[in-house]
Amino acid sequence: MASSSFSVLGSDIKITGNISASEDLHVDGSIDGDIHCGSLVQGESSVVNGAIEADSARLAGTVDGSITAKTLVILKTARITGDVHYDTLTIEQGASVEGKFAQRAHGSAPARSGADADSEPKLSLAT
């Protein structure tokens, strides 16, 4: 398998338009548009005005839009306005989220046996 790539958008970057990345993305700048990527890390000073869709997301800045992620970590500095869809969710005390939380729809997932019980979506509160 090819080595993983990692893209960084610095704090001085302002983008108007949608972003699609097949691998990892680190955002410290401002984005007016949707983000679709494998893994997203958002810095504290970052502002995203648009929807986020990622396999995993670690959010520390401001988001005005919906978020969909398999694994989602919302840090205490995050300020989110929008609905949140997740499989696994961790929220640090002090984070601000104004919107609805919902586990992601699993569609036509196979029936779970006792051995698959660990794959159930989980919610945890970081302290």
Q: Quick check: 118 pLDDT over 70?
A: no
Q: Quick check: 108 pLDDT over 50?
A: no
Residue pLDDT, tens place only, 20-36 = 998 899 999 999 999 99
The strand pair at 24-27 and 84-92 is best described as unpaired
Evaluate whether 63 touches 48 at the Cβ level (below 8 Å). yes
pLDDT band for position 106 (cuts 50, 70, 90): low
- Average of per-residue pLDDT values in the chain: 86
Q: Quick check: 114 pLDDT over 70?
A: no
Backbone angles phi, psi at 3, to 5 degrees: -70, 150
- Cβ atoms within 10 A of the Cβ of 21, count? 17
Residue pLDDT, tens place only, 47-78 = 999 999 999 999 999 999 999 999 999 999 99
Report the range of poorest mean pLDDT among 2-6, 33-37, 77-81, 84-88: 2-6
Distance of alpha carbon 47 from the chain centroid: 13
Average pLDDT over residues 101-116: 55
Residues 6+ away with beta carbon under 8 Å from 64: 47, 48, 49, 50, 81, 82
